[in-house]
Amino acid sequence: MRVYGSKISYYTGKLESYLRYKEVGYESLPLAPHGKAIKLNTGTLQMPAVERDDGRWMSDSTPIIAQLEKEYPEAPVIPSDPVVRFIALLMEDYADEWLWRPAMHYRWSYRDSRELAASVLAAEQTKDIPLPGWLKRQFFKSRQRIGFVVRDGVCDATWDHVEAGYFAALDNMTCMLKRRRFLLGDAPSVADFGLMAPMFRHFSQDPTPLALMLNRAPDVFAWVSRMWNAKATTLPPEFVDVIPTDAAPMLKEISETHLHQLAANAEAYKSGMRQFSMRVQGFEYVKLPVSRYRVACLEALREGYSALAEEQKSSVQALLPHPEAGILWDPDFCVRSGYDEEKLAPFNKAINVYGTGVPRS
């Protein structure tokens, strides 16, 4: 496989850690020089994009992992217990779609992290462009900060809350890792690979959040190293039979932040809006971009819940007693993204995360 991305990319790091765990051979390549082929074959320029030896292309780390689990079923990373599986996938979605904001903030709002990331991207993605290095670096610093920080609701009013989201993730993961080598057992699950997206290539490598992690959550730092070095051939896939009580703080945080955002985004999408505002844990976020993709994320979670047996649904509701979690089983909620209705992912034509498209209710 050829994995097109970046060595400091959020989702590329997530996929690479999975491929290393499964011991699947791959070649890592920069995205930019292959942009035309990637967009033609996957529908959008997002990392990672995967070109297979059989000529097919894959995009979007979550369905890529789901597909590869079918092809490499030994040492599965998706728990077999339905309730544990649902919670693991919920944790993955939280890592993918909520922790993205603090990860981008710490990278592009702080000088040391910003300078390092811009230097790496300029060297990787614009190697053949005949412009001065300082100009290339300035381009990335400006584009990334405006596109992924300012336009994603990070401002003076939300700054502290965005950073509190990182602290909460560190504290909640530490609580779980005090008792197990991985979040849900003695081997990494899809929840671990989801959390690797922000924790590996961003929080444990960018200077500013790295210093915070080392001081506040050394257990998480050790887990990052353990994840990068994990091999399926040496770790039997043993997961917990029931969700442990030490997961409760993370599930509360997921409900109050990630699920609240998914619900607000979906309602805005249904109304045909391009921007929306929301109040999360007492902080007001304004003019956030509406995301059709995140409507699809909520659809997938609701479909996963709907597929559970009644007893299992009761177990999930007991684990998520917070009002915001009701969006997962609310019978009156009916917002459809219209995305990938044929269930072709990861071989479908992907959409940009912030692309709205035409809403369907």
The per-residue DSSP string of 127-143 comes to TTS-S-HHHHHHHHHHH
pLDDT at 136: 87
User: 233 with 255, same domain?
Assistant: no
Instruction: Output phi, psi for 67, to 5 deg.
Output: -65, -45
pLDDT at 225: 98
User: Which of these three, 71, 99, 122, is where a domain ends?
Assistant: 71
Q: Is residue 358 part of a domain?
A: no
User: 138 with 216, same domain?
Assistant: yes
pLDDT at 216: 98
pLDDT at 336: 94
CA dist., res. 122 & res. 138, Å (int): 9
User: 235 with 276, same domain?
Assistant: no
- Where is average pLDDT lowest: 45-49, 201-205, 226-230, 279-283? 45-49
User: 224 with 281, same domain?
Assistant: no
User: 265 with 227, same domain?
Assistant: no
Q: Is residue 352 part of a domain?
A: no
pLDDT at 360: 30
Average pLDDT across the chain, whole number: 94
CA dist., res. 166 & res. 295, Å (int): 24
pLDDT at 125: 81
> pLDDT tens digits for 124-183?
888 778 888 888 889 889 989 999 999 999 999 999 999 999 999 999 999 999 999 999
User: 238 with 153, same domain?
Assistant: yes
N- to C-terminal Cα distance for the chain?
38
- Where is average pLDDT lowest: 59-73, 120-134, 167-181, 275-289? 120-134
Which among 289, 276, 288, 265 has a CA at the least distance from the CA of 337? 265
Structural domain count of the chain: 3
User: 229 with 98, same domain?
Assistant: yes
User: Which of these three, 222, 243, 264, is where a domain ends?
Assistant: 243
For the segment 270-283, the average pLDDT, to the nearest whole number, is 97
Q: Is residue 338 part of a domain?
A: no
Q: Is residue 129 part of a domain?
A: yes
For the segment 107-135, the average pLDDT, to the nearest whole number, is 89
Q: Is residue 102 part of a domain?
A: yes
User: 94 with 235, same domain?
Assistant: yes
User: 239 with 250, same domain?
Assistant: no
Q: Is residue 360 part of a domain?
A: no
Q: Is residue 351 part of a domain?
A: no
User: Which of these three, 193, 225, 243, is where a domain ends?
Assistant: 243
229: confidence class by pLDDT, cuts 50, 70, 90 = very high
**CATH number of residue 45's parent domain:** 3.40.30.10
For the segment 202-223, the average pLDDT, to the nearest whole number, is 98
CA dist., res. 247 & res. 183, Å (int): 9
355 pLDDT higher than 90: no
32 pLDDT higher than 90: no
pLDDT at 347: 97
Contacts of 320 (CB under 8 A, 6+ apart): 251, 255, 328
User: 252 with 277, same domain?
Assistant: yes
User: 124 with 163, same domain?
Assistant: yes
249 pLDDT higher than 60: yes
Q: In the chain, what percentage of residues exceed pLDDT 70?
A: 98
280 pLDDT higher than 80: yes
CA dist., res. 54 & res. 215, Å (int): 46
324: confidence class by pLDDT, cuts 50, 70, 90 = very high
User: 180 with 115, same domain?
Assistant: yes
Domain encompassing residue 32? 2-71
User: Which element (helix H / strand E) includes 93?
Assistant: helix 82-97
Q: Is residue 354 part of a domain?
A: no
Query: In the block, which residue shows the tokens 């320029």?
Result: 45
pLDDT at 359: 33
Neighbours of 332 (CB within 10 A): 4
